[in-house]
Amino acid sequence: MTAEPAVTLLIVDDHPVVRDGLRGMFESAPGFRVLGEAADGAEAVARTAALDPDVILMDLRMPGGSGVDAIRELTRRGVRAKVLVLTTYDTDSDTLPAIEAGATGYLLKDAPRDELFTAVRAAAEGRTVLSPAVASRLVHAVRTPRRTDAEPLSAREREVLALVAKGTSNREIARELFISEATVKTHLTHLYAKLGVKDRAAAVAAAYDRGILG
């Protein structure tokens, strides 16, 4: 019998210790081959183009380029690789944008070793893999009626929010819309209040959940 080809991996995390641990774990197990590593989302996109892995193990919150932004860009490019999020965060503001952006699966870093191996193999086959905590959150989000009584966003607030969802900075938004950074901050304050959130990530998640984006 011919052995099945190894599942190839790209490990994306801003902590070298985490990358080293994951590399050692997968290289010591049969059926996996680590092609490379990346320390942030932007590097992940570049390394994916160069290495063409089967699966990308993607952290979410990283200086220099978030995981969600990278997932969104990889989806836009139509890459072959499947993205399996591996993070310590399971809040709605993390899970929903990652899944919406195109992640195949979402696991927490406390997942047992064998569960992680199984999840990577499943992701390589295109199957969705979710930790129980994340699955329950997504079910709740689907079953919870979207609010219709909230004050609607203005056209300009929608423009600002759409740019925020793309990972655009306040300075870049100001340049794009020909307004001042102070005006951008004012629009953000207003849309945060209307959406009932406190930060950019939560605003994007709430907007997807209510159908304002997507």
Share of the chain above pLDDT 70, in %: 90
Predicted TM-score (pTM) of this structure: 0.65
Higher pLDDT, 126 or 81: 81
d(CA 146, CA 123): 30
The mean per-residue pLDDT over the stretch 85-97 comes to: 80
86 sits in which H/E element: strand 82-87
Higher pLDDT, 202 or 136: 202
Is the pLDDT at 143 greater than 70, yes or no?
A: no
Question: Rounded to an integer, what is the distance from CA 193 to the centroid of its chain?
Answer: 24
pLDDT score recorded for residue 161? 92
DSSP symbols for 168-204: --HHHHHHHHT--HHHHHHHHHHHHHHHT-SSHHHHH
d(CA 58, CA 91): 16
Q: pLDDT of 38-87, one tens digit each?
A: 999 999 999 999 999 999 999 998 887 889 999 999 999 999 999 999 98
Secondary structure letter of residue 209 according to DSSP: H
pLDDT score recorded for residue 126? 86
Backbone angles phi and psi of 189, in degrees to 5? -60, -45
Share of the chain above pLDDT 90, in %: 53
